[in-house]
Structure 1
Amino acid sequence: MDMLFFDDIDKLGRIVLTAVLVYILIVIITKVSGKRSTSQLNNFDWVVTVMIGSLGASTILLENIPFIEGASSIIVLYVLQFLVTKYASISPQFSNVILSEPRIVFYQGQFLPEAMRAERLTRQELECAMRADGVRSFNDIEAIVFESDAKLTIITKPDSQPMTDTVSETLAPLTD
């Protein structure tokens, strides 16, 4: 109970200094590694990101992990992430192994219960994605796809009325 709020100024100094160094390291490596490391994450990217966060926290808080060892492990994960994603971008077979395939969960007015069950999705989650995209009715939707990054993509039906008629009717009063 003695160390509930404060233990030792040396430990505190080490934590502050290590936190600054780990922060700088992660910012630099993330910048160098590109948008992929901070974009919509698929399962594989998410696991690596969590591991990097855990290694960063361990390096900051645990005295028995020197900064160089923690930094090395973080750098190795970033390099492995780069190599795996690079290879996945050129090898469809490898990509299929590490990434999940998109799955249609709603198509032409029908919920696909087996697909929804397999992805553990509810009707409420599909409705939430619809609202986020400004779609009001399932009647306006051709399909809903559950993407490999766990995002729901709403594909709306094509308009039955040609766009040119709508545009000309809207602009007609302006040209008079």
Structure 2
Amino acid sequence: MEHLIFDNFDKLGRIAVASALVYLLIVGVTKLSGKRSTSQLNNFDWVVTVMIGSIGASTILLKSIPFVEGAASIITLYTLQYLVTKVASISPNFSSFILSEPRIVFYQGQFLPEAMRKERLCRQELECAMRAEGINDYSQVEAIVFESDAKLTVIQKPEPDNIKPAVDGLPISQSIKTLMQ
């Protein structure tokens, strides 16, 4: 309890310098690694982000972890993330192994209970996504897709005279059926 508010100036100085160094390192490496590092997160990206945050905090606060060791850990994680995402962009098999596929959880007026159960989603979450899009009636919804980045995409029913291609030149309803297979 004696060091609850303040310990000493040496420790405070070390933490201030380590904070600045870790901050510059993470900002620099994030810039070098590209937009992917700060994009909407899928499961893999989320895990790496949490690990980098944890290592950064440990490097700042724990005297037993020198900056160079923390930096090596952070750079290693960014490098692994880069390599994994590079391979995933080239190999569809690896991509489907490492990333989750989008799943349709509502289609043409019907909740898909098995899909919702697998994704651990409840009806209220789908309704919330609809409201966020300004939709209050299920009859206006063609489908709701649970995306790889854990966002819910609400696809409105197309108006008959305004059907536009969505995927590979197919109308939205046909594109959704392709996703469901």
Tell me the TM-score normalised to structure 2 length.
0.87
Q: Deviations over 1:64-84 (max 9, x none)?
A: 100011011000000000000
In 1: Cα distance, 2:106 partner to 2:75 partner: 41
The aligned residue for residue 152 of structure 1 is: 152
Q: Per-residue deviation at 1:133?
A: 1.4
The aligned residue for residue 47 of structure 1 is: 47
For 2:125, the aligned partner's letter is E
For 2:156, the aligned partner's letter is T
Q: Per-residue deviation at 1:160?
A: 3.1
In 2: Cα distance, 1:36 partner to 1:102 partner: 19
- Taking the TM superposition and a 5 Å limit, the aligned residue runs for 1:50-61 are 50-61=50-61
Structure 1 residue runs of 4+, over 6 Å off? none
The aligned residue for residue 13 of structure 1 is: 13
The aligned residue for residue 92 of structure 1 is: 92
Count residues with an aligned counterpart: 163
Higher mean C-alpha displacement, 153-162 vs 66-75: 153-162
In 2: Cα distance, 1:35 partner to 1:72 partner: 21
Indicate the percent of aligned positions where both proteins have the same amino acid: 74
- Taking the TM superposition and a 5 Å limit, the aligned residue runs for 1:101-140 are 101-140=101-140
Structural RMSD (CA): 1.1
In 1: Cα distance, 2:139 partner to 2:34 partner: 39
In 2: Cα distance, 1:2 partner to 1:43 partner: 42
Q: Deviations over 1:94-139 (max 9, x none)?
A: 0111111110000010000011011011111111111111222110
Q: Per-residue deviation at 1:161?
A: 4.8
The aligned residue for residue 80 of structure 1 is: 80
- SS of the residue aligned with 1:106? strand
Tell me the TM-score normalised to structure 1 length.
0.90
In 2: Cα distance, 1:125 partner to 1:20 partner: 40
For 1:137, the aligned partner's letter is D
Stretches of structure 2 that go unaligned for 5 or more consecutive residues are 164-181
In 2: Cα distance, 1:40 partner to 1:162 partner: 30
Considering only CA atoms, is the larger Rg found in Structure 1 or Structure 2?
1
The aligned residue for residue 65 of structure 1 is: 65
